[in-house]
Chains A and B, each alone.
Chain A
Amino acid sequence: DAEITQSPRHKITETGRQVTLACHQTWNHNNMFWYRQDLGHGLRLIHYSYGVQDTNKGEVSDGYSVSRSNTEDLPLTLESAASSQTSVYFCASSESTRVEAWEQFFGPGTRLTVL
């Protein structure tokens, strides 16, 4: 069955370190997304990609970067981790390129703690 996987599921790191969160999907979807979820804020879009070599900034992109070298993977990098980036991170994918039809399927999430 097609799925989205994220790794690691839990990560503890220190302020200032570079961290990369992995996302892999076997839906063969062109679109992939990264969100963070914090209490009281719901899900907020960090970056998204419509296909290989395409990346776009979302609502809260500062301090994060992504790159898309193939259809299946969209790794999220925190260049210099900050305590404010402690959160649960979800990767998602969708089939449609039209934002109006972004029915998204989510991965299991990564809980990141920055000390």
Chain B
Amino acid sequence: QKEVEQNSGPLSVPEGAIASLNCTYSDRGSQSFFWYRQYSGKSPELIMSIYSNGDKEDGRFTAQLNKASQYVSLLIRDSQPSDSATYLCAVASVYNNDMRFGAGTRLTVKP
């Protein structure tokens, strides 16, 4: 079982819709969770971090964390074609003292 799992996609949504990206992790000791966006051929860029159970909103992005279910998600409201990218979930493991990334979910927003 991979430590951080994401559906590889591709996930396709129409412009203006809500895109929902999901991530599960296996290390119950994980304390911090990050979402990165990576355009094709480019480097990852940090979108959001979340540390506590519940929702965290930043513009069109909402991160949701449920530690009991070991689940973190990213919602993108009013999706735009410019949101088309691969979204990487990252989990900070205090036990391993490192960061583990999922393989990413490729999102396509169709005009």
Contact = CB atoms under 8 A, between A and B. Distances in A.
Partners in one complex: yes
A103 interface: yes
A86 B103 CA distance: 17
Interface SS of chain B: strand
Given A42-B102, A44-B101, A45-B98, A103 B34 contact: yes
Interface string A79-115: 0000000000010000000011111111111000000
Contacts of B31: 100
A99 B46 contact: no
A106 B43 contact: yes
Contacts of A43: 44, 88, 90, 101
A18 B51 CA distance: 41
Of the four ranges (under 10, 10 to 19, 20 to 34, 35 or more), the interface on chain A belongs to 20 to 34
Interface string A51-63: 0000010110000
Given A42-B103, A42-B104, A100-B51, A48 B34 contact: no
Interface in B41-65: 42-46, 49, 51
A70 B97 CA distance: 23
Interface string A30-59: 000101000011111100100000001011
B94 interface: yes
B32 interface: yes
Given A41-B103, A59-B100, A104-B99, A99 B45 contact: no
A36 to B, nearest CB: 11
A101 B99 CA distance: 10
Given A43-B44, A43-B88, A106-B44, A99 B98 contact: yes
B93 interface: yes
A48 to B, nearest CB: 7
Interface of A: 33, 35, 40-45, 48, 56, 58-59, 90, 99-109
Interface of B: 4, 31-32, 34, 42-46, 49, 51, 88, 90, 92-94, 96-104
